[in-house]
Structure 1
């Protein structure tokens, strides 16, 4: 019997981890520190919530079907904002709005790859990217990263075959937090262009990049659209995770194909979410700058506090945006450690095995810490708990 497509991949990692705490009890003196999911838990600002409510009450069209590729005003705002931010030419026709950045990735891949084709993903990879490739019968070609968890464009070039359709970069990276230098991103663009394949750049966390100014210069190339597909999320910037709103920037001809997919899946992006994203882009620039400063301060707290873990044999492989990616010093696997940490430290984190192929032993020693929802004090408490973990007997 042929198995359904969903059987081709693994369970959703965040949902899997939540099951580890379903029956757990935590005391008021030692509450759970949840660093498993890269999402803000606070709601949008009061001003944005009021705008959403007013839109729901006064704008009848917000409750009806809208354009499949998104609200024209939001597409225009993204084009204008991103053109200014990146110093390039992006037009309204290059922009579509999606039900979250995950859907943008799925839509892009539907226009690029058929069953049996190949897509190159640097490891550790974002698990939802791997899951979608699995479920669509597209082979994931794992690109091991080198020092600093940076992928090598020359290694990627050697992996390209006649079935390769795209290279995917996530920067700042999920799960590793690493920011890819502009010249590295450009080198991957050159590799992709040379091979006549797409370069997908997922910039979900671009608003929390440590570099001031444009993180790369891809859009200054007048021919960028022949190769580059950029993905973006409004969820992290404006705390709109539950509203599901993202964006894709690509050649208009590709968006014409994307429209087929989106019309079949969601018909149109959430209307209230799009109005919220538009208002956020137009009114919350100063507030977002403050959010970025807070995240960068938490990144600094990770770097400043990590020596207490380094003394215990931990290693900080990467840090940035919402993430710290670490290795642990224990003999047990990261999956077992992550499960043990719930009872031993009241900490929920995701193991590296959820971001690495099964045949890569590196994942057995790695953990992702998503620190967007813990402040400096919380980071200090987290490190104290991790430093206090004791070795356990390895399960046979």
Structure 2
């Protein structure tokens, strides 16, 4: 029986170092210097999507490993937060390994491909850029005083900051993925003259000049989806006359406000509050009144419950002791159902056998030899 370290040669000339153990040859483990790592996930990825690359294990003679079991692990470190995340490694048991890594935080990561305790594989560590995803309207932000307060006849401005589904800032051109639909209107007037400019930093700059004082509703949407907390209540204030003296301005501020000086009521906000109260009255609570995409997203437990309705769900940990009893009852029920099916099958076969016997008894028998002699 062969035993010990040696070289195994094949007919094509390839040689593999390894050990003979119980007359079975075992190839040497992966060599970190000659092991190869390749795939798009080694250079860049997208937040929320898996980054994938492959590890191709090779031994000390640069031959590809023919089986798995090597002690690889892959760690991603965020360069800003220094948070570490370990990737998932799938062993295909043929010398190749698939590495999957997913994160919701965009940024620069250091990818360390290791074997054993602290040996880097191939050219590890690698620098991986995780880019933000496409702009997600409900996560985008609207900034600037121009979406809340403006002055009559004076140019007002606000900006729209593009963020992806996970809150990462989106850079570059965003007009293809985040087209804006803006409407500024009151009960008597609508502001149609506004300018939308896109910057290279993933922002929109919106400017307009109000022509009439009052309360407006500012709606900012993209593909029918509200951006930020749109719609907003916008107040256009009257500008003080430049000919007014300082004493007159002081008097206007310090004197008791008259009814005519008070700002008009925000009727849009008032009707929205009335509608919400009616909704709560009919439904019992305000759940679903302002639901977000995260609220509507199905959780893993909800999906499991929907796909496997026959699996019991334990909501109270005090009932955990009942699981073995329930499993015992289910096994007994399955045993009884199986026994009942076997009895039905046995009865069916016995009836079929009885019918065959009856058919044989009714069929005519061939004549005996004596009867054949008489016929001759």
TM range (shorter): under 0.3
**Which one has more relative contact order, counting CA pairs under 8 Å at least 6 apart?**
1
Larger strand share, 1 or 2: 2
Structure with greater Cα Rg: 2
TM-score, scaled to structure 2:
0.18
TM-score, scaled to structure 1:
0.18
